[in-house]
Chain A
Amino acid sequence: MNAFLAVLWKDLAIEWRSRDRFAAMLVFSLLVVLVLYFAAPPSLDAAQNGYVPGLLWVAYVFAGVLGMNRAFAAELENDALSALALAPVDRGFLFLGKATASFLILGVVQALTAVFFALAFTLDLWAVAPQLAAIAGLGGLGIACAGTLLSAISVRTRYREVMLPLLLLPLLVPVLLAAVRATTQLLETGSLPWPPIQMLIVADAVYAIVSFLCFEFVLDE
């Protein structure tokens, strides 16, 4: 538990001082929303159109992949990654610390992106904000869990910037499908649809457990 809190504190302290990852993710996701806004036909009624929630998740996933690419990049300087690998703890707790930090950073980006998205597409998301936050949180958790594991794998490869999206995006298909379906049904009915939520919970649990168990071996050279 000490190691989990230590890694979480370290990642959040570093992010608070540099804001590198947060700024890159936020600007990127806002630009994605802007591009989608200009790409959408002028006659689009976002409230009635089933594919609009998918656009929000495009911004979330791209921002998430960008953030996960940076999750271990900072550890390369001075080989700080080896300092983590040397820690005499179950490395699963190092994974939990890194994943939680990424989840929190992504959560703030998701919230700000949702506000901008609502303004751009004139959607009233405020009425369903708690439910939308729950869906975004579950989706973000899946991105953070799978992304942390794959980022740790890809960070020592030569083409890590390309490698991570190639590995991560296919793995996120169940999360993306469930999150888009849940968001669509939420905007249509105003209540949380359980089947896609259950799918999100199962996907998150699988990614978290597998990543926790595999992290011991991922940090070995």
Chain B
Amino acid sequence: MSGAVVRATGLAKRFGPLAALQPLDLTLAAGETLALLGPNGAGKSTLLRLLAGLARPSAGVLEVGPDGATRPARRAAVGLVAHATFLSPQLTARENLTLAARLYDVAKPAARAATLIEAHELAPVADRAAGELSRGWAQRVAIARALVHEPRLLLLDEPFTGLDPRAAEKLAERLATQRGGARAAVLVTHELARAVQLATRALVLVRGQALAVAASALASTPALESAYRDAVAALEAAP
């Protein structure tokens, strides 16, 4: 796949008569962070779930990870932070991280969980049941969980939801430092300032149709706001 972490050609998803995602071509290289922007119901989460391997495309070709990867190998390349936290509520935060490490066949799962707990400052809640955690703490555990296997592609669906300002800044710093590295990321957000801060490219989705935003629009929030409004208007006017 010549350095690309994601290559999609004609990727589409239909739910019965509803076209949740119209045919989309997308290539994402290591070190890139793609901001996915758009109103509610635009198909952003659907695209993320397709990239994660949780849903099968109705049409098109999708390659994630190494060339000719099997479905399990593709899933190994992906870490997903979704609206739901994916945490088993009866297990503690530490147990959830250890379980994830075991599912991803990470060496020394307990040690990996301990490392993540330290790195994400989860010690105060590490041994509390996930079901008892506040939304913010649960989101922090969910982010740590998505990184348990050091994925090549990180998919983030509004990851700042529920985070306090300090935790949000920590996450933003973490995402900013990965730019130019071996990992690619897709960030779904309604906060255009975050997109400007973190993304190297942006894509606007409306009713399943995608339009790329010029890289120059990511120079400032007002520039992105203007480009975003133009893109939404163009896509809404499209047949």
* A interface residue numbers (CB < 8 A to B): 2-3, 5-7, 9-10, 13-14, 17-18, 74-75, 77-80, 82-90, 216, 220-221
Contact = CB atoms under 8 A, between A and B. Distances in A.
7 contacts: A10-B91, A13-B95, A14-B88, A78-B84, A85-B54, A87-B103, A88-B149
B84 A6 contact: no
B53 interface: yes
| Main SS class of interface, A | helix
Given A78-B84, A79-B84, A82-B84, A89 B90 contact: no
Given A17-B90, A220-B56, 18 more contacts: A7-B103, A18-B90, A78-B84, A78-B86, A78-B87, A78-B89, A79-B82, A79-B85, A79-B86, A80-B88, A82-B82, A82-B86, A83-B86, A83-B145, A88-B75, A89-B72, A89-B105, A90-B72
Contact of A13 (B56, B87, B91): B91
A10 B54 CA distance: 21
B199 to A, nearest CB: 24
Interface residues of B, number: 35
Given A82-B82, A86-B80, A221-B54, A6 B103 contact: yes
A210 B105 CA distance: 25
A18 B98 CA distance: 20
Contacts of A74: 88, 90
A189 to B, nearest CB: 45
A5 B90 contact: no
B198 interface: no
A2 B130 contact: no
A84 B99 CA distance: 10
A26 B91 CA distance: 24
A7 B53 CA distance: 20
Given A14-B91, A78-B89, A221-B49, A3 B84 contact: no
Contacts of A88: 72-76, 103-105, 149
Given A6-B102, A10-B99, A221-B49, A86 B88 contact: no
Contact of B55 (A17, A216, A220): A220
Contacts of B56: 220-221
A71 B80 CA distance: 24
Interface in B72-125: 72-76, 78, 80, 82, 84-91, 95, 99-100, 102-105
B71 interface: yes
Contacts of A84: 103
A84 B102 CA distance: 11
B78 A86 contact: yes
B52 interface: yes
